[in-house]
Amino acid sequence: MNTLKKRLIALSLLTCVAMTSVVGCGSKESSSSEKGYSAESSSSDEDQETTDKPIDIEAITNESGNPIKLPVQSGEAGSGGVTAENGMNLSGLDPEDVNTSPEPEIETVTVVNENGEPVTESVPVTNANGEAVTEAGGQPVTEFVPVTSVVAKGNQTSDYQSNSEGRYVLWMDISKDENFVFNDQFIKVQFKIKDDAPDGNYPISIVTDLSSIKGVSIDPDKIVNGTIKVGGSTPAEKDYSNNGFVVYGDTIGAKAGDTVDFYINCKNNPGLAAVLLWFYYDSNALECKSVKSAGEFAEIDGHPETGKSSSN
């Protein structure tokens, strides 16, 4: 995968031609256009750009002389629009290589005999330290407990076929010579769970490509995929405060036919100037309705209503 910095440089050269969010460019940008920069030639420039060259912030301005800000953009991974017009590679992973197959909900049940009575087994008794309790003669003390088994619940069938689909989320702000710090919820994805979606755990896989204002790649210490549990209860929120810089998805409970808000979150963000991430889901069970910025990031983005699905 190419670095985000290279894509940012290519994007900066093409903003006034390919992006409707910027209406014009300053003299230096115009000069580049006059020299014949196009989607094809800028893609070539992207391949030749070295990774240690910082982005020239002052050279990238709109008609008012203000440096460029790109609000949150979202679209299907590998689709047209931005990808087709400016030559940037926003395709991400091949969705066919991403496993979004639902996992059945798991439960522990008591095993019963043919008469419906619980089956029991003899097990050693242990004390608080995990040591076996013995009688005066040294014989272990035992007790009878029900036999349990872990089984899949719900109506998930083995012949169900998933269909992985991906979307990208792109944002950058080089209007200031500084990184932006935001935490907790920062991308809100609204999913419609299809009426015929079988019960099960549907993973939302996340891939990131992040950059600082200097074009240095920022790799999270940990990325945790999210899960939409159809037919399941809402689990307790996990605490990632002590795991370094973490990007993680929600784990939420829902039922077929629901419309839910799924958030992509971060903790201990060191500061970013650009975000490119992809998320993948099972489109046979879930329909992506919209993608928006959220929380502190929505205030930085300034356009929380952008990034809606083209299907809306």
Are 285 and 102 in contact, with CB atoms under 8 Å apart? yes
> Burial code of 118-145, b = ≥16 C-beta within 10 A, e = fewer?
eeeeeeeeeeeeeeeeeeeeeeeeeeee
Are 122 and 142 in contact, with CB atoms under 8 Å apart? yes
Q: What is the pLDDT of residue 30?
A: 32
Are 298 and 71 in contact, with CB atoms under 8 Å apart? no
Domain residues of the chain, as ranges? 63-100+162-301, 112-146
Q: What is the pLDDT of residue 131?
A: 85
Q: What is the pLDDT of residue 142?
A: 87
Q: What is the pLDDT of residue 73?
A: 82
Q: What is the mean pLDDT of the chain?
A: 73
33-47 residue pLDDT tens: 332 322 233 333 333
Q: What is the pLDDT of residue 92?
A: 73
In the chain, which stretches have pLDDT less than 70?
A: 1-67, 78-91, 95-96, 103-107, 149-158, 232, 303-312
Q: What is the pLDDT of residue 270?
A: 96
Q: Take residue 40 and report the two structure tokens written for it.
A: 């094809």
Euclidean distance between CA atoms 168 and 227, whole angstroms = 18
282-301 residue pLDDT tens: 999 999 999 999 999 999 98
Geometric angle at alpha carbon 22, from 18 and 27, rounded to 5°: 95
Q: What is the pLDDT of residue 181?
A: 96
Instruction: Give the number of other CB atoms < 10 A from CB of residue 221.
Output: 12
